[in-house]
Structure 1
Amino acid sequence: MKEVLFNTHDVALILTMFICIFFAIFLMLIKKGKKLSNFLLAAFLLTQAAIPLDNLINFGEAFKQVALGISPKLFYSFGLAFWIEAPLLLLYVRSLIYKDFKLSKKDIWYFVPFILYATHFTNDWILLDYHIQMAALQGDGIASANVFDRLIHTTREILRFGFGVLCLIELHKYQKHIKNEVAELESVDLTWLKVLVVGFLVIRINAIFVALAIIFSYEIGVTVDHETLGLTSNYAVLLLVTGLIFFSAGHSTIFKGIDRKLQPEKDKSEDSYDPEEIRTIEAYMEQNKPYLNHLLTLENLANQLSLSPRYLSTLINRHFEKNFFEFINFYRIEESKKLLISVSNKKTTMLDIMDRAGFNSKATFNTFFKKLVGDTPTQYRKNYWQNQKENEQSPEQREQTS
């Protein structure tokens, strides 16, 4: 009973595997949130469980002997997960950021590299005779691999990196377009999703270095420590997966998706807008002050104006030269300026002013105010009342003061 079965590196892989499996099961059973998003995340997590199992079977001495006793076909088979985990993460990100996201036939193209490799793998390994497989598993598998296999390995890592870049592009689009639909960004928390995407992107960059290090070490003769690089990735994945569970559990309800159908039209000329429509919108904003609603969205305002959300978005972008976020918060700043110079509000706190003007975030309030007015709200009120006091003084008093 005192025999050590696993080393520390094996334990990290085992922990990653079990955490991913249990969380994937939880996601498939939970009824909260988007079912498709939960399914895609669960599938992604199962690939993250398969990858450490592949490492344990191929490089962990204890697991290797067990796998040999079951079937040599187990070797390398779980490595198929490398080919599908990246497109699954991309689809998961898209399912979160687009309200109307659905899997389509064209998404199968993301899995073409997996299908091609799975076909090659079946012919090159699974269908081999048992004795040939057992003979091939003797010795160092990395050292005995041929150049073609090394090139496939490197290509795989480059593809995974490419999918990671696509994830970043989607997040950039989200940050750009979310401001066309909401006037407050407090319900939009991208932190945990950014950490997930960027974290796995860094891991994939490291995987490219590992693949190149192997080529340098065994094909060129320049020894590079690929084992340390690989072990670093194993621990990084464990930390990322653990963080993913913590953040997604705590922030799953505050992620707000965008509607691709509501994006401004690009082919509509400003001349096609009815000037009366513009005046109606401006009058409505001045008289009804819909911007005082903290949770106002493009769709809400469009319904109030009896316009289609997409048309209103296009009109705001083209005529007012603002996105929805800037358009609404412009009116909120104007409202806050009126509140700040009101006699009855001389002692009102900035938090109250901010709230009464429609802002939910102090940071947004201060940033927008400084950008549009040139002063902070505090400076603006102080300067205004100081000027008022000076104007009320006689020329002699002002001269004495100066």
Structure 2
Amino acid sequence: MSIFALQILLVGGATQGLCLALLLATRHANPLANRLLALLMLLVSAQSVLVAFDTREFFLAFPHLSRIGWLLPSLFGPLLYLFTRKLTSPAPRLRRADAWHLLPFALVLAYLLPYYLQPAAAKIAYLRDFQAASRDDFGWLNQLLNLEHIGYLLAALHALRRHGQRIRDEFSDLTRLRLRWLRQFLLFTLGIVLVGVAAFYGRKWGLSWISNVYHFHYLGVIGLIYWIGYRALAQPELFSSAQQDIPPGAAAGGPNVGAAALVVALEPTPAALPAPPDTTAAPAAKYQKSTLTPEQAQEVADALLAFMRAHKPYRQNSLTIQELARQLELPKHRLSQVLNEQLGKNFYDFVNEYRVEEVKHLLRDPRYAHYSTLGIAEEAGFNSKATFNAVFKKITGVTPSEYAKQSEIGV
């Protein structure tokens, strides 16, 4: 591929990035995360243009643009990390601690400011010394920026992993909350960065077979911009926060177990429902400051299991821990504590065990003989065929269709 063709692709991608930044900045859903991503796309687009015209002749003609390409990347990692944090946060907002992530940019700016303040003639004189300018391009500053990129990407992946753990404590259906696209985005970006770092050192050490991709690896960046643009247009819900999937009115209730939680149904209970709570479990470290006594925890656990049997809230496919806490008239953190300490389960596993047992019960019920297995799963509260199949096999060891056949022949 010729340099001219590469320039056309990079500039075209930068234009797409600018349009995407405008689209994201005007999104009403989760505006903070979208604006962080919009700013990142804007800076990446500007960097793509600088990479497209990264020639000695260009910077001799426009000396004040030299070394701008050193400064912009210092914001890439922090913005990507903050975007990940705010997109996966239940209450996204900027905090004072977030300002620390601007420290790399501030330090790089302070280091480069004397150069930026030089007159054009001084910069041109410096750029004419090709060996010195080239040596500085691959100096310690850009090497540290390479490490910064990798470090922030790993931190973003860690934040996403923690989000995956958190939603299992709060949601019973993860279909809309897994943010698979974000994981793909981060891994794709990490791959591009690793290729870029390899090309950087290949050029620094004179390894021609690697250094040949020094500029061409930016085609991956352009591909990433187009991929995000496609996702933003084709699946706009992907750029909403997880909190927006919580049903309206799912706020925690008062501090005491309400009367509704203590009503016990008189109808038969499906077999093999989750066992009564084990009160011998040691308190988790995160609940050491809790004022909930063992007696109160036992009372809440008994009320919870009674409520699950009586009212079957698990049949609500969008059930969240906040909604269940509201129905029980309990603070969410108390319900979470009882689930983790008394039952040793997260909310996702707790609710879906009930749903699986409900499916098994309905499969044996003649009134549901005309239902398909998926129809029965939906009656039990499952919202996704893939989730139903995966959860059912994890708990029972067989697929739903295998279990249905066993039920028919009385196994």
- Measured against the shorter chain, the TM-score band is 0.7 to 0.9
Q: SS where residue 230 of structure 2 aligns?
A: helix
2:229 counterpart (245, 249, 269): 245
Alpha-carbon distance in 2 for matches of 1:225, 1:127: 37
Alpha-carbon distance in 2 for matches of 1:379, 1:275: 37
2:155 counterpart (166, 175, 178): 166
8 Å CA contact retained: 2:315, 2:379: yes
Task: Tell me the equivalent position of 1:17.
Answer: 14
Q: SS where residue 343 of structure 2 aligns?
A: coil
Offset at residue 347 of structure 1 (A) = 3.9
Q: 1:173-192 maps to which residues of 2 (within 5 A)?
A: 173-192=162-181
Offset at residue 349 of structure 1 (A) = 0.9
Task: Tell me the equivalent position of 1:109.
Answer: 100
Offset at residue 68 of structure 1 (A) = 4.1
8 Å CA contact retained: 2:359, 2:376: yes
Alpha-carbon distance in 2 for matches of 1:300, 1:106: 31
* 1:142 to 1:350, Cα distance in 2 relative to 1, 3 A: farther
Task: Tell me the equivalent position of 2:347.
Answer: 324
Deviation string 1:100-138 (CA, Å, 9 cap, x unpaired) is 122122222212121111111111x22334323112222
Give the TM-score normalised by structure 2: 0.83
* 1:279 to 1:11, Cα distance in 2 relative to 1, 3 A: same
Offset at residue 160 of structure 1 (A) = 0.8
Q: Does 1:151 align with 2:140?
A: yes
8 Å CA contact retained: 1:17, 1:49: yes
Task: Tell me the equivalent position of 1:394.
Answer: none
* 1:270 to 1:331, Cα distance in 2 relative to 1, 3 A: farther
Task: Tell me the equivalent position of 2:394.
Answer: 371
Alpha-carbon distance in 2 for matches of 1:301, 1:271: 21
Q: Does 1:37 align with 2:21?
A: no
Task: Tell me the equivalent position of 1:257.
Answer: 242
**1:113 corresponds to which letter in structure 2?**
P
* 1:141 to 1:226, Cα distance in 2 relative to 1, 3 A: farther
Alpha-carbon distance in 2 for matches of 1:229, 1:166: 27
8 Å CA contact retained: 2:150, 2:193: yes
**1:127 corresponds to which letter in structure 2?**
L
Deviates most, 132-141 or 73-82: 132-141
8 Å CA contact retained: 1:84, 1:114: yes
Alpha-carbon distance in 2 for matches of 1:154, 1:74: 21
* 1:344 to 1:142, Cα distance in 2 relative to 1, 3 A: farther
8 Å CA contact retained: 1:83, 1:156: yes
Q: Does 1:384 align with 2:373?
A: no
- Structure 1's unaligned 5+ residue stretches are 218-222, 389-402
1:336 counterpart (351, 354, 359): 359
Give the TM-score normalised by structure 1: 0.84
8 Å CA contact retained: 2:169, 2:347: yes
Offset at residue 48 of structure 1 (A) = 0.5
* 1:252 to 1:276, Cα distance in 2 relative to 1, 3 A: same
Q: 1:42-121 maps to which residues of 2 (within 5 A)?
A: 42-59=38-55, 64=58, 68-69=60-61, 71-121=62-112
What percentage of aligned pairs have identical amino acids? 25
Alpha-carbon distance in 2 for matches of 1:20, 1:135: 34
Offset at residue 26 of structure 1 (A) = 2.5
Q: How many aligned residue pairs are there? A: 370
8 Å CA contact retained: 1:264, 1:311: no
Task: Tell me the equivalent position of 2:182.
Answer: 193
Offset at residue 258 of structure 1 (A) = 5.6
* Rg larger for: 1
Alpha-carbon distance in 2 for matches of 1:382, 1:35: 50
Q: SS where residue 184 of structure 1 aligns?
A: coil
Deviation string 1:345-399 (CA, Å, 9 cap, x unpaired) is 33421111111111111222222222222332222232233238xxxxxxxxxxx
Alpha-carbon distance in 1 for matches of 2:370, 2:27: 49
* 1:356 to 1:108, Cα distance in 2 relative to 1, 3 A: same
**1:195 corresponds to which letter in structure 2?**
Q
8 Å CA contact retained: 1:57, 1:75: no
8 Å CA contact retained: 2:30, 2:241: no
Deviates most, 378-387 or 171-180: 378-387
Deviation string 1:313-337 (CA, Å, 9 cap, x unpaired) is 1211111111111111111111111
Task: Tell me the equivalent position of 2:195.
Answer: 206
Offset at residue 189 of structure 1 (A) = 4.3
Q: Does 1:231 align with 2:228?
A: no
Aligned alpha-carbon RMSD (Å): 2.7
Task: Tell me the equivalent position of 2:258.
Answer: none
Offset at residue 52 of structure 1 (A) = 1.3
**1:173 corresponds to which letter in structure 2?**
R
Deviates most, 100-109 or 36-45: 100-109
**1:25 corresponds to which letter in structure 2?**
L
Alpha-carbon distance in 2 for matches of 1:305, 1:317: 17
**2:372 corresponds to which letter in structure 1?**
T
Offset at residue 186 of structure 1 (A) = 1.5
